[in-house]
Amino acid sequence: MTETERHAYDVIVIGAGGAGLRAAIAARERGLRTAIVCKSLFGKAHTVMAEGGCAAAMGNVAEKDSWQVHFRDTMRGGKFLNNWRMAELHAQEAPDRVWELESWGALFDRTPDGRISQRNFGGHTYPRLAHVGDRTGLEILRTLQQRVVALQQADHAETGDYEARLRVFAECTVTELLTDDDGAVAGAFGYWRESGRFLVFEAPAVVLATGGIGKSFQVTSNSWEYTGDGHGLALRAGASLVDMEFVQFHPTGMVWPPSVKGILVTESVRGDGGVLKNSAGERFMFDYVPDVFRDLYAESAQEADRWYDDQENNRRTPDLLPRDEVARAINTEVKEGRGSPHGGVYLDVASRLPADQIRRRLPSMYHQFKELAGVDITAEAMEVGPTCHYVMGGIDVDPDTARSSVPGLFAAGECAGGMHGSNRLGGNSLSDLLVFGRRAGLGAADYVEGLDRRPTIRDDDVDAGAATAVAPFDPPADGTTGENPYTLHADLQRIMNDLVGIIRTEAEMIAALGRLDELRGRLRHVVVEGHRNYNPGWHLALDLRNMLMVSEAVAASALARTESRGGHTRDDYPTLDPDWRHRVLTTRCAPASTDDDGADPVPRVVVEPGERTPMRPDLLDLFELTELEKYYTPAELAGHSRGGT
Ligand code: FAD
């Protein structure tokens, strides 16, 4: 039997970003013994990178704002594909989660009369994003960490042990979930990144909060952690993913110099007055307002500029259309020869705001461009272009409890699917992870408290986890030198960028699946040098399994969906098809085939169609029939109170 360190808890939370910490706090507050496991340092999770803000209809800046308006905006942004119950809970509960953070010590920017300030963002009808300059994620994570420490101090006062009920295992990667004979969660298997030593966590409930998948793409705003681990772990444990074809390309990433390509330029630049221009100096977004949004967006630069000061009587600037629309517009401008010298377009805030205001409202952007590109954004325009930013697809969960189809397995934050439909609105992720992080922690607590016996880990599964983990150290049986994990990663990123990127076609997707299958074969022969003490090549070799599964899920789902919607644009099916609105694509692990020789470290995935649950009538009634008719089939609208046809 493999020698491992063992720890027993009630709940294991994998991930220490906003979702993971909020889940852990909720579980610990219910008195459960909770472990937080994260592969980065504690406090360094991807959430710290969030810049612009956290969307919540508090009505501090625009009194007319309400959860109903936020719900409507979220559904419109997702092109009515969202899990509507998630969107409802999110819109209703986000304000409480922000106020709760304030009571835990978060210092948000203020309105002149001292309330939490809220800023404009794409797709949001009113200024709605609570923010801390352009470093909102950092403040949210700092506050949640402070809350974790406060709970540990309370435990110390009561038991003499800070870690009696809440312990953080930092720089520790989970590679497998462990289930019992009935298929219920029994724990997790992982390793310390520094020493390579193995650990087993015994626990009846696991909350996955591992973030996104961006590292499968060449140009991305995402951090090194975003290798789709939670998606892969859930699939291998028997859970399903939904909506994996929907990947958000943020319209404004840096395009120059090459070493920083993809790094995010926050949407707050546009929310605070910055505008997009092409090489001819034209504000081109007025040419790209789609019919479904025409009533809501300004037709001229004059009207758009008036909107910043008087939102009651003017329509918003199309620079703030949902991200998918803006990313496609930039793509077209560049393709048609009106781009900037380095293949982007211009984002101009310099000519629109005084220099001191830019430095105060956008301090990180000012430093980012000054230090990385030698550009002073108070004096010249930035060059920007689309970058892979967020995955709407993720683990299929019950909205109220965050539980997956595997007993004892819960998920929240970016690794969970459904909430954002085909396209996420900016600011809706920070609120999502607070709302559903808390719900996942509570869901896990309810589950554990309802159990009459604890599940048992099988020793064979621990041995199998260890064997898979050390396999990359074995020389290939065929005597070749084997595959280098860095080369495989670069090839994977190129395939995803070139063939499954912002604009897709059937031929490209088929080609991508073929090339991913070749990679699958090469991954069998991945070899790393050295030993298990801090060995980044080995870590990457293990992460590649998840990246490959996730990439196959994205490509296969994108091939199946023969329409364009949100973060999925098909050149060969360029329009939105109402018959696809009510359909969901689900990814799960394929059953092992009889010709499987057991040498493949990555199970295959299959994508299956299903039906979405129809929206509750009272929520459907929040929309005008004329708007719904753009998205729904006549049969679906028959029950609308204002009369469907
Ligand atoms: P994360 O914060 O990424 O945390 C994931 C955690 O899981 C990490 O601790 C990681 O170490 C751990 N982990 C992963 N795999 C494993 C494993 N195998 N074993 C152990 N631990 C593991 N959204 C907004 O709403 N507003 C914004 O202004 C905004 N700005 C953004 C700016 C940038 C540059 C980027 C890239 C994103 C931005 N987003 C924004 C999106 C938002 O930041 C993320 O979607 C969100 O922070 C995800 O949080 P999370 O808790 O789900 O995951």
252-265 confidence digits (pLDDT tens): 999 988 888 999 99
Residue 643 in this model has a pLDDT that exceeds 70: no
323, 532, 581, 588: which one is catalytic? 323
Q: Is the CB of 414 under 6 A from ligand 1?
A: yes
Residue 287 — very low, low, confident or very high, per pLDDT cuts 50/70/90? very high
Quick check: is 343 in a domain? yes
- C-alpha span between 365 and 135 (Å, rounded): 10
The sheet with strand 605-611 has its strands ordered as: 394-395, 241-242, 583-589, 605-611
Count up the domains in the chain and report the number: 1
Q: Cα-flanking dihedrals φ and ψ of residue 436, to 5°?
A: -85, -20
Pick the atom of ligand 1 nearest to 173's CA: 19
**Closest-CA residue to 416 (of 18, 11, 12, 9):** 18
Quick check: is 287 in a domain? yes
The length of the chain is 645
Q: Which of 220, 225, 364 to mutate to test the pocket of ligand 1 (most atoms within 8 A of CB)?
A: 225
Pick the atom of ligand 1 nearest to 268's CA: 28
323 has catalytic annotation: yes
Which residues make beta-bridge pairs with 242? 394, 586
* Contact (CB, 8 A) for 52 and 271: yes
Residue 644 in this model has a pLDDT that exceeds 60: no
- C-alpha span between 499 and 559 (Å, rounded): 11
Q: Which of 116-130, 208-222, 570-584, 597-611 is predicted with the least confidence, judged by mean pLDDT? A: 597-611
271 lies in which domain range? 248-389
Average pLDDT estimate for 101-121: 95
Quote the mean pLDDT of the chain: 94
Q: Which of 10-19, 33-42, 293-302 is predicted with the least confidence, judged by mean pLDDT? A: 293-302
Gap from CA of 45 to ligand 1 centroid (Å): 6
Quick check: is 212 in a domain? no
- Beta carbons within 8 Å of 418's beta carbon, 6+ residues apart: 82, 83, 86, 242, 243, 394, 396, 397, 399
Strand, helix or coil for residue 346? strand
Residue 31, Cβ density class (10 Å: 0-12 exposed, 13-18 middle, ≥19 buried): exposed
**Closest-CA residue to 448 (of 403, 514, 417, 405):** 403
**Residue 478: per-residue pLDDT:** 76
- 48: its two tokens: 């710290």
**Closest-CA residue to 602 (of 612, 592, 616, 615):** 592
Residue 597 in this model has a pLDDT that exceeds 80: no
Residue 454 in this model has a pLDDT that exceeds 70: yes
Which residues make beta-bridge pairs with 382? 347
Q: Which of 44, 47, 131, 171 to mutate to test the pocket of ligand 1 (most atoms within 8 A of CB)?
A: 47
Strand, helix or coil for residue 19? helix
CA contacts within 13 A on the Cβ side of 244: 33
340-350 confidence digits (pLDDT tens): 999 899 999 99
* Contact (CB, 8 A) for 451 and 431: no
**Closest-CA residue to 177 (of 243, 229, 216):** 229
Gap from CA of 419 to ligand 1 centroid (Å): 16
Q: Is the CB of 267 under 6 A from ligand 1?
A: no
Q: Cα-flanking dihedrals φ and ψ of residue 147, to 5°?
A: -65, -40
- C-alpha span between 616 and 83 (Å, rounded): 11
Average pLDDT estimate for 306-330: 90
* Contact (CB, 8 A) for 144 and 22: yes
Residue 446 in this model has a pLDDT that exceeds 50: yes
Q: Is the CB of 232 under 6 A from ligand 1?
A: no
- 250: its two tokens: 């943020």
- Beta carbons within 8 Å of 288's beta carbon, 6+ residues apart: 318, 321, 325, 326, 328, 329, 332
Quick check: is 483 in a domain? no
**Residue 645: per-residue pLDDT:** 40
Helix or strand run (H / E) with residue 152? helix 136-159
Residue 38 in this model has a pLDDT that exceeds 90: yes
ipTM of the complex: 0.99
Q: Are strands 34-38 and 166-170 parallel, antiparallel or unpaired?
A: parallel
Q: Which of 290-294, 428-432, 451-455, 621-625 is predicted with the least confidence, judged by mean pLDDT? A: 290-294
Helix or strand run (H / E) with residue 13? strand 11-14
Model pTM above 0.95: no
Residue 599 in this model has a pLDDT that exceeds 70: no
Of 23-27, 218-222, 324-328, 364-368, the range with the highest mean pLDDT is 23-27
Gap from CA of 13 to ligand 1 centroid (Å): 14
- Beta carbons within 8 Å of 209's beta carbon, 6+ residues apart: 13, 14, 15, 16, 17, 19, 20, 23, 230, 411, 412, 413, 415, 433, 437, 440
Q: Quick one: CA dihedral 69, 73, 75, 80, positive or negative?
A: positive
Gap from CA of 17 to ligand 1 centroid (Å): 6
Closest residue to atom 39 of ligand 1, CA basis: 50
Q: Is the CB of 268 under 6 A from ligand 1?
A: no
Quick check: is 609 in a domain? no
**Residue 311: per-residue pLDDT:** 85
- C-alpha span between 445 and 250 (Å, rounded): 36
Q: Is the CB of 427 under 6 A from ligand 1?
A: yes
CATH classification of the domain holding 321: 3.90.700.10
Strand, helix or coil for residue 516? helix
Residue 47 in this model has a pLDDT that exceeds 50: yes
Closest residue to atom 53 of ligand 1, CA basis: 211
**Residue 593: per-residue pLDDT:** 72
Quick check: is 133 in a domain? no
**Residue 594: per-residue pLDDT:** 61
Quick check: is 602 in a domain? no
Q: Are strands 198-202 and 5-8 parallel, antiparallel or unpaired?
A: parallel
Gap from CA of 429 to ligand 1 centroid (Å): 9
Strand, helix or coil for residue 445? helix
Q: Is the CB of 38 under 6 A from ligand 1?
A: yes
Quick check: is 94 in a domain? no
174-203 confidence digits (pLDDT tens): 999 999 999 999 999 999 999 999 999 999
